[in-house]
Amino acid sequence: MAKTSIKNTKRKASRKQKEIQGTTAFHSVLVFFRYNPFGKFLIGLIIFVLLILFNILITRNDLEMFSLITGIEFVITMIIGWTIFLLKRNVNPDDEDN
């Protein structure tokens, strides 16, 4: 009897260990960037800087080409941003108050 009760307690303990999921530091950083407004701003700033550096790399310090490519990217970003904004705004047209 004593052996079966020890086995049962070990099984219960192993089930609890399997159910509990630990959080890693990398997961905490991802959560910070995903849900924190400052994290979202930081990611946006990093993407902006990398895009500018990529444009400089492509244009090989030609100012006219850099301005043209950056301007086109800016216009495309504005169009996508406004489209996302308008789609999110009009998700539930049934909630209109007349």
Identity at 64, one-letter amino acid code: E
Retrieve residue 68's tokens: 């043209």
Give the SS3 label for residue 34.
Answer: helix
Entry pTM:
0.62
| 47-61 residue pLDDT tens | 999 999 999 999 998
Domain spans in the chain, listed from the N-terminal domain onward? 24-91
For the chain, the average pLDDT equals 84
